[in-house]
Amino acid sequence: MRVSGLGWCALACVMLASVAQAEIYKYKDENGRWQFTDKKPKSEESVEVLESRSARTSASSGLSGDPVNVAQKLQDAFHPKTPLEIATINVVAIETPIGVGSGFFVSANGHIVTNRHVIRPTEEKDKEAREQFEKEAAVIDRRFDALKSEKSRLNSYKSSLDRLNPSSADYQQYRKRYEDDLRTYEKFLRETQKLRDDYQSRKANHDRKTANAAIAQQFTVILKDGTRLLSELVAISENRDLALLRINGTTPFLKPATSLPRQGLPVYAIGSPLGQMDSVTSGIVTRITAQGIYTDAKVLPGNSGGPLINHDGELIGVNTQKLMAGSQAGSEGFGIAIPYTDVNAEFSGKF
């Protein structure tokens, strides 16, 4: 593809303060899908080293600073009284190289539960992005093909024009037509070059963020009062859409419900939907299956990783995805939450 962007070599500029000494490897797995890792693959066939870097120091790197008393800080700032208000001070926004999601404290010593897809790129999202880039590249290629043909036609026209007598009656008419067509060609060329440059920039940025997110070990969490703190990755589930982070501090935390959720139970989803921090939606449990807890509470992009709680402010699940009618985007559909019992089973002994 002529306009495939700056290429994977652009990722050599990726810098991660969280890794002391590492290389980023890109390779295709047995299914032909590109993978990114900071662990050297067993087979070196078709492996590309995207980056090699040494330790760097940064004011924001590491969690070695004094512990933060988040619990007291948020209590003093908001004086929460109702179970829902108390629950909201336990919820954080999580910034990653690929976007913003939600999470919540599950222990007094700073552990945060979120979704795996909040901190790691998913195959589905990467596939969607690649398909969109391929469509854009095909459009740009067709434009350059048309420009090439038009350039050839203009050259032939110019040669014919040069053979005419400048004093002939037809010369000025043909010359004006040529100059008009040339201006149209040059305008279309500039527009196409701008499209190509924008495409290359966006694709390189996407590739860089994807590679960065694939191995990131530290993430910014934002408290209810806007305070930004650095968190580190503790664990990622292989089987469930779950991840565990930690900040250095004393934190409030959501307590699990004392009884299992039932159909019709009033529930609340808390998170950062559409980038709006500290937002709450309500609904009921509509269905409980092996796939999770279904609710009609609005769950929008950015809610992922946030808690689903009952009317007592107790944790019953982790919001993870939206079940839509067909493939239409929008707010209609069911939210699905991973039961908190799965979180306990996955991260037992880690917090």
Residue 61: partners with Cβ closer than 8 Å, 6 or more residues away: 17, 18, 218, 230
Its pTM stands at: 0.73
Residue with tokens 């808390």: 270
Residue 178: partners with Cβ closer than 8 Å, 6 or more residues away: 154, 157, 158, 161
Residue 308: partners with Cβ closer than 8 Å, 6 or more residues away: 267, 268, 269, 293, 295, 297, 315, 316, 317, 318, 319, 335, 337
Residue with tokens 């066939």: 45
Q: What is the pLDDT of residues 246-294, one digit of tens each?
A: 999 999 999 999 998 999 999 999 998 887 888 999 999 999 998 899 9
Residue 257 CB neighbours (<10 A):
20
What distance lies between CA 270 and its chain's CA centroid? 19
Residue with tokens 């950015």: 302
Residue 16: partners with Cβ closer than 8 Å, 6 or more residues away: 22, 53, 212, 215, 216, 217
Nearest one of 110, 112, 89 to 101, comparing CA atoms? 112
Q: What is the pLDDT of residues 117-174, one digit of tens each?
A: 999 998 888 899 999 999 999 999 999 999 999 999 999 999 999 999 998 888 999 9
How far apart are the C-alpha atoms of 186 and 171, rounded to whole Å? 22
Nearest one of 270, 272, 279, 269 to 222, comparing CA atoms? 272
Q: What is the pLDDT of residues 197-246, one digit of tens each?
A: 999 999 999 999 999 999 999 999 999 999 999 999 999 999 999 999 99
